Amino acid sequence: MRIAEILVESSPTPFWDILKQIGVDEATGILPRWYPDWRQWRSDNPWDYSSLSNYKRMIEEAGFKLTVIEDNPPMDKIIYGLPGKEEQLENVAKLIENMGKLKIPIWCYNWMPDGWLRTRTALRGRGGALTSGFDEEDLKEAPPPKLGKIDKATLWKNLREFLKFILPIAEDANVKLAIHPDDPPLDEVRGVARIMNTVEAFDKLIEEFPSEYNGITFDHSIFSLMTNDLVSVVRHFLEKKRIFFVHFREVIGNKSKFEEVFIDEGMTRQFEEMREYIKHGFYGPFRVDHTPTLLGDTMQLSVPGYSVLGRIHAIGYLQGLFRAAAESLGYYQ
């Protein structure tokens, strides 16, 4: 299977070698935001050609194919439709064009005005492993974020304008746009609307922009919170050929209140889902996501859910699941 595990470090670490050893040959990258000079001087933005090509070379030297960029230049003014959005649009265009020149085929972005949300980042999961969760109640007193409230209609309008602008650029550059669902997939949080939170919303997006460069980052957990029949939803978007990238993790709960759990603790039909991917010729890229942090986990990063040991376990699990699905479909006879 093709796993493109996310690399968030600014230079190669022992974890990168470990990933190669356990069978990961592709990478999901972020933008190289760190300063190349300790005087904090840089002559190019992280999405400019030089920055991005240096970054890609570093990842290739470490043995990975750079398959996805899961990051973006600032887009808050684009999402909110505020003055200054033109410059932000230019930067996104540059990123896509440079990805095209560098043959990085997939861009993962989202349309959340307030980002992905967790309100608990020190929960204790199985065996005391550190994990994260979300509870809408925790935010009931929280005022709107910096840029204020926004409604669904405006979010849709701005997303349509964005795609009208960026899709032709992506098509020319041969870069696939893979929108990530809202996490959590609520209708509104802190007075801020969310729109990419139902199966219907993704259908609408695909129908309105039928380009084969307009697709989805299929986040297993978030979609599992939107439907009672995840396997059919996977099949639906695979039939439309609009799944470009998969995030695989498990949560327990509902979209208003959930906890991240170990990948083997979920109750979804993972095997049937995996069979759908293979039946439709989709072998990846997959990556694991939000794994609990184990005792003594050697590199707990600033972002919860991205430690080393937890990911080794989840990657092994995903490989076992995929192998079983492939064998059930006639491989390894």
Name the residues that contact a second copy, by CB under 8 A: 14, 17-18, 20-23, 63, 125-129, 262-265, 267-272, 274, 292, 294-296, 298, 309, 312-325, 327-328, 332-333
CB of 247 to a second copy, least distance (A): 16
Place of tokens 């390894």: 332
Helix (H) or strand (E) holding 253: strand 250-254
- CB closer to a second copy out of 36 and 63: 63
Q: At its nearest, how many Å lie between a second copy and the CB of residue 13?
A: 10
Q: Which of 215, 171, 172 is nearest to 196 (CA)?
A: 215
**Cα 266 to Cα 93: distance, rounded to the nearest angstrom:** 38
**Which residues on adjacent β-strands are paired with residue 85?**
none
Q: How far is the CB of 266 from a second copy (least distance, A)?
A: 9
Q: CB-wise, 187 or 264, nearer to a second copy?
A: 264
Residue with Cβ nearer a second copy (99 or 314): 314
Cα 27 from Cα 44, distance rounded (Å): 23
Closer CB to a second copy, 149 or 323, in the complex: 323
- Contacts of residue 68, defined as CB under 8 A and 6 or more positions apart, other chains included, come to 4, 27, 28, 29, 104, 105, 106, 107, 108, 178, 245, 285
Give min distance, CB of 218 to a second copy, in A.
18
User: What is the smallest separation between the CB atom of 299 and a second copy, expressed in angstroms?
Assistant: 10
Our CB check for a second copy shows the closer of 143 and 296 to be 296
Q: Greatest CA separation found in the chain?
A: 60
49: alpha, beta or left? (left if phi > 0; alpha if psi -120 to 50)? alpha
